[in-house]
Structure formats: C-alpha cells, structure tokens
Amino acid sequence: MLEVIKHWYRQRFTDPGAVALFLSLLFGFVIVYFFGHILAPFFAAIVVAYLLDWPVMRLQKIGLSRILAVVVVQLLFAVTLIVSLISIVPNFLIQVANLARELPSMMSRTQELLLTLPERYPELVDITLVQSMLDDIKSRLLGSANAILGVSLNSLTNAAVLMVYFILVSVLVFFMLKDKRQLLDSGARFLPKNRELVSRVWKEMNVQIANYVRGKVIEILIVGGVSYFTFMFLDLRYPLLLSVLVGFSVLIPYIGAAAATVPIALVGIFQWGFTAPFFYLMIAYAIIQALDGNVLVPILFSEAVNLHPIAIIVAVLVFGGLWGFWGVFFAIPLATLVKAVVNAWPREDERQELLNSPNQQDKA
C-alpha cells in the first residue's frame, strides 16, 4: 500500500509547476472557506466586473480611453439597475406580502383538491401518502411565510445595508475595471516562480468565467422575462414574483427548475383547480424549461459548459454546501476548474516522454 502511495506521489507531485498549482489552489480554498462571508461584497464586485468588462473593451476599440469607458459603462449600468429596482421592487414586495398572507388558505384549497385524487383514482393514489406529503409541505410553506413577514418588518434596516453594499460594490467594480492590468500584474508577483501551469489554467478559467457570468445573466433575464409575459398572458396571479423565481432558478441547473415548479403549480391549483387553464400553465412552463435547456443554454454556454449532468449536480451540491449562494453560482466554473486542473496536471511518465522527445534532445 505504501509503495502505491509513493508511486502516485512521484507521478503527481514531482513537477515544480504542479506543486505551485496545488499550493495556489489550496491558498484560494482556505481564503474563500474561512473568509467568504466577509468577502461577499468582493465576490459580487468580481461578478459585476466580469459582466461589464466586455462593453468596456468594446468602447476602447472605438477610441475611448480605459477610464472614460469604465465611467460610461458603470454609469449606464447603475442607472439601469436603479430604474429597474424602482419599477420592480415595490410591486414585487406587494406580491410577496400578499402571497405570504394567502398561503394558509392556498394550502387548504390545494389540500381539498389533492384529497379528491384518491377517491377518483384509488388504485393509483394512496391517501395516506398524499396526506403526509401535504402536512410536510404545509409546515414548510407556513414557516416560509412567517419568515417573509419577519423580513418585511426589518425592511428599513435591510435597505440601509443594501445601500452600503451597493456603494461598496460600485467602488470595487470601478477600480477593478480601471486598474485591471495593474491588479493582475500585482497578483502575479505573489505566485511562485514555476507558475507556467498556474498561468495556463488561469488563462483558460478567466475566459470560462467571463463567458459564464455574461451567459448566466443573459439567461436569467431571458427566462425571467419570457416567464413574466407568459404568466401575464395566462392571467396567473403573482406573475412578477413567480417570474423572478423562475429566472433565478436557472442558477441551480436541473434542481432549480424542479424546485420552481412547486410554487407555480401551487398558485395555479389555488387559482383554477384541476381545470384547463392549470394544464395550459404547466405545459407553457414545461415548454419554457425545454427551450432553456435545449436551445438557450447550448447557445450561451457552448464553450463554458462541457460537463456531464452528474458532474454539474455534484458540483452544485459540493460547492453550494461549502460556500452557499456563491458556491451555487460558481458551481459550473469551479467544476470546470477541477476538470482543467485534472487535465493539465502533469504525470511523471508524460514528463519523461517530453524530456526524451527528439526536439528536446536536439536542444540539449
């Protein structure tokens, strides 16, 4: 057993570049794991900086200076964000409060409808299973309603905290965009001398993360917008609240879409029962999810997402458990990072073949 471990160690850790990459990853993991909650504004600023870097570079290509391009793009982004929040947030909060108040009656109505299923289809549906499932869902939703109402009482405090975060993130984004090259060069000075492998992985991941952040924001806006107009067309209650939920559900691949189905179905059953409009709603929602998974995602993430669905789900579970929201958001890039590191990690036999190659012998 000891010889097997020694052989594995000689294959994987005899290359100085591999050791440098391992130490860099270990240092990054320790910082994020122990100080992630403190650095939350910093991570938010990184996401926004990746999002805005593309339009900044486009403005530079048409002749604007870097600092002027940064100022123009950030001002437009801030104005768009503020106008969107002013027009959306009040209606969103009203719908949240109304939904929280109506959850008890909504659950009672849904329970009555679902309990009729064992009577209609006794050979397919077990009444005991339906009742236990309803009791569990009811307790969870009522707890969520109380939490929502409790949060609304602290809305002023939350608004003040969000204002501080908004200012802090804006300042961080400005300097990240303005001094991008200087910050990267300064960070490179702290890396080990044998950093060829680190640089190779970083260049690949930098492109992957930039494409992923832009693609994910576009996906949220498209899926949320299409869902909103669909719910409005079907005259579904709480269309803004449910469309925002559907939009942000794309942050969690596969699992998010399934989780968002529950509140949509619950509101549909409460409003229409098991009638034709309810089935139209579920068909429309299924079409939206199918188009998102089979058309939109391949277009936006053709290069960024080259992972098996099992790998993506495991990455969401692992990194989400470690780092919460940011772990879920960056689950796919982090899984891609793991894949890139595994593919780039040198083996002792490959290094020997490279050293014994004719080109290397001629140089010698």
pLDDT, tens digit, for every residue of 69-111?
999 999 999 898 888 888 887 888 788 878 777 777 777 776 6
Mean pLDDT of 166-171: 86
Is pLDDT larger for residue 6 or for residue 102?
Answer: 102
Instruction: Quickly state the pLDDT bin for 260 (edges 50, 70, 90).
Output: confident
| Res 156: pLDDT | 45
Ramachandran area for residue 121 (φ above 0: left; ψ -120 to 50: alpha; else beta): beta
Percent of the chain with pLDDT strictly greater than 90: 11
So where are the chain's domains? 15-346
Reply yes or no on whether the pLDDT at 133 is more than 70: no
Instruction: Quickly state the pLDDT bin for 153 (edges 50, 70, 90).
Output: very low
pLDDT digits (tens, 9 = 90+) for 36-59: 778 878 888 888 888 888 899 899
Give dist(CA 215, CA 296) in Å, integer: 9
| Res 186: pLDDT | 76
| Res 230: pLDDT | 94
Instruction: Quickly state the pLDDT bin for 270 (edges 50, 70, 90).
Output: confident
Alpha helices in the chain (DSSP H): 2-13, 16-35, 40-61, 66-120, 127-153, 155-178, 180-188, 196-233, 239-249, 255-272, 276-291, 297-300, 309-329, 331-344, 348-355, 358-363
Give dist(CA 104, CA 149) in Å, integer: 14
Task: Indicate the Cα dihedral angle 260, 262, 265, 266, nearest 10°.
Answer: -130
Is pLDDT larger for residue 68 or for residue 298?
Answer: 68
| Res 151: pLDDT | 47
Is pLDDT larger for residue 317 or for residue 231?
Answer: 231
Q: Mean of the per-residue pLDDT values for the chain?
A: 76
Reply yes or no on whether the pLDDT at 251 is more than 50: yes
Q: Rg of the Cα trace of the chain?
A: 25
Instruction: Quickly state the pLDDT bin for 243 (edges 50, 70, 90).
Output: very high
| Res 139: pLDDT | 63
Mean pLDDT of 99-126: 68
Give the closest residue to 344 by CA, choosing from 233, 201, 180. Answer: 201
